[in-house]
Amino acid sequence: MTNLPDLAGLKPGGKRSTKREQIVSVFLRQEGHLSADDLVDVIRREDHRISRATVYRTLQWMVDAGIARKVDFGEGRFRFEHSYRQPRHFHLLCTTCHDSFEFLSSDIEALLAEVATARHFTPEHSVVQIHGTCEKCRTGENSSSVDGHTDLLFARDALRIAIATERSGFEFYSKAARITKDARGRKVFEDLAQEEHEHMERLEARYDELLARDPELETRPTFLFFKGAAHGLFDQGAERLMKGVNDQQALLIGIRCERGSHRFFKKYGEQFEESEGRQIFLDFAAEERTHLDMLVREYRALVSRQGRRRHSVDDRSGRRAAR
């Protein structure tokens, strides 16, 4: 369950209110997308003394404070969803049963940012909705789709992304070790490849444990679509390695890959509320940071060693010329 935020601290001039706290608490316990009238009905079941006007005012306050997000599904009325410590996400909307299904895509977010930047446009918010027919309405069979996402579903997808990234990192460091001539640099790449492989095995075991907690978890639809992040960073680095690079360049490519991976997982981990999936992202970000620091140290050491060798060669050449 979402922890109740500090209501007085979320908005300048905000005041604590017992009724407001009660309404916010009830709202954050709900899943999916509620209309104002839906929330009134839920609140009235808990406390019939709270008026409809108070619920409406609190809903607007939650929108202004960043606790709730107002969404328009074309029904002629607004619905509200959680936005407190929830990353921006997108919706599939069934035009037959009017159910909605959430998903999050870093690739769509990156494309929206790219378009806005290219047009020198400052975005305030964006809405991505895909209208169509859901599986249940199309086939008549019960769908495994769920509105919103559960902690287990988020954790499942977070582990999938982490495993895919580790596999990509293992392949990258294995290739880097094969082409690196510097003995110390090659040992660093070999060690990192081994670490990636071992961590991948641990993540896969954790994934199996997660499935054991919910046998149907594997069949449920994907919520997190992070294909570009899971594969792109290290795959692009591996392609660059195969085009021919020297030892310094190989280390610099590894540094860029690890820095990008660290920033990505830290950014998304910090956006989510406390959950197993959030912790998976943050733990993975911490490991990527460790790898990044190791590569930076080795790069500096390699540059220093190469500088000393050049200096030694110049000294010997100078002495020979003097003779």
My answer on whether 280 and 307 are in the same domain is yes
DSSP state of 67: S
Assign 150 to helix, strand or coil: coil
Burial 235-266 (b: 16+ CB within 10 A, else e): ebbbebbeeebebeebbbbbbbbbbbbbebbb
**Over the stretch 294-316, which tens digit does the pLDDT of each residue have?**
999 999 998 998 877 665 545 55
CB neighbours of residue 175 within 10 Å:
19
CB 227 within 8 A of CB 264: no
Q: Is residue 322 part of a domain?
A: no
My answer on whether 121 and 187 are in the same domain is no
Nearest to 167 by CA among 197, 188, 203, 205: 197
My answer on whether 258 and 299 are in the same domain is yes
Output the pLDDT for position 3: 53
Q: Given a cut of 70, is residue 17 above it in pLDDT?
A: no
My answer on whether 304 and 164 are in the same domain is yes
Last residue of a domain, one of 148, 163, 191: 148
Output the pLDDT for position 249: 92
CB 206 within 8 A of CB 145: no
Q: Is residue 321 part of a domain?
A: no
- Which CATH number covers residue 66? 1.10.10.10
CA dist 176 and 170 (Å) reads: 10
Q: Given a cut of 80, is residue 273 above it in pLDDT?
A: no
Q: Is residue 243 part of a domain?
A: yes
CB 228 within 8 A of CB 107: yes
**Over the stretch 114-164, which tens digit does the pLDDT of each residue have?**
999 999 999 877 778 898 998 889 888 765 545 445 778 889 999 999 999
Tokens of 294: 């190791």
Q: Is residue 59 part of a domain?
A: yes
My answer on whether 94 and 156 are in the same domain is no
Q: Given a cut of 70, is residue 5 above it in pLDDT?
A: no
pLDDT, the chain, mean: 82
- H helices of 125-220, in order, are 135-139, 151-179, 183-213
DSSP state of 28: H
Tokens of 59: 């809903």
My answer on whether 173 and 283 are in the same domain is yes
My answer on whether 98 and 235 are in the same domain is no
- Which CATH number covers residue 178? 1.20.1260.10
My answer on whether 286 and 158 are in the same domain is yes
- Which CATH number covers residue 99? 3.30.1490.190
Least confident of 181-190, 229-238, 298-307: 229-238
CA dist 18 and 9 (Å) reads: 15
My answer on whether 186 and 263 are in the same domain is yes
The continuous run of DSSP H or E covering 78 comes out as strand 78-82
Last residue of a domain, one of 69, 84, 99: 84
Q: Given a cut of 60, is residue 270 above it in pLDDT?
A: yes
Output the pLDDT for position 163: 92
My answer on whether 102 and 69 are in the same domain is no
Which one of 16-20, 121-125, 170-174, 223-227 scores highest in mean pLDDT? 170-174
Q: Is residue 92 part of a domain?
A: yes
Q: Which residue has the higher pLDDT, 62 or 312?
A: 62
Q: Is residue 192 part of a domain?
A: yes
Output the pLDDT for position 102: 80
**Over the stretch 68-85, which tens digit does the pLDDT of each residue have?**
888 877 777 788 887 755
Least confident of 23-32, 80-89, 162-171, 231-240: 80-89
My answer on whether 290 and 158 are in the same domain is yes
The continuous run of DSSP H or E covering 131 comes out as strand 129-132
**82 φ, ψ to 5°?**
-65, 140
Q: Is residue 197 part of a domain?
A: yes
Last residue of a domain, one of 47, 67, 84: 84
Region of 148 please: left (phi>0), alpha (psi -120 to 50) or beta: left
My answer on whether 75 and 92 are in the same domain is no
Per the structure, the count of domains in the chain is 3
- State which residues form the domain around 3: 1-84
CB neighbours of residue 153 within 10 Å:
20
Length of the chain: 323
Q: Is residue 283 part of a domain?
A: yes
